[in-house]
Amino acid sequence: MKAESILSGRREVQPEPEPGDEILRRIASAISGVRFGSVEVVIQDSRVVQIERKEKFRFDKPGRG
């Protein structure tokens, strides 16, 4: 809260996050940290209904390097 609000006893109203903001945060979270893989966003009726994250772990073959 700002100082004026505290002194006057008023509380600032925080705007509610938009549903789209949460979806974008979740997509960004699914993407971050993936070295090899994919993120799939499933859409139905113009709405995001599912986010899938597939990650692959790759290992060097013995004797290579």
Measured between alpha carbons, how far apart are the two ends of the chain, in Å? Answer: 57
Does the model's pTM come out above 0.75? no
6-54: per-residue pLDDT in tens?
Answer: 566 667 776 766 778 899 999 999 999 888 999 999 999 999 999 999 9
Looking at the structure of the chain, the number of domains it has is 1
Element containing residue 30 per DSSP (H, E): helix 19-31
Q: What is the pLDDT of residue 33?
A: 82
Q: What is the pLDDT of residue 9?
A: 67
Structural domain of 25: 3-55
63 assigned to some structural domain = no
**C-alpha of 7 from chain center:** 36
Q: What is the mean pLDDT of residues 46-64?
A: 87
Q: What is the pLDDT of residue 12?
A: 73
44 assigned to some structural domain = yes
CA-based nearest residue to 50, from 39, 63, 58: 39
62 assigned to some structural domain = no
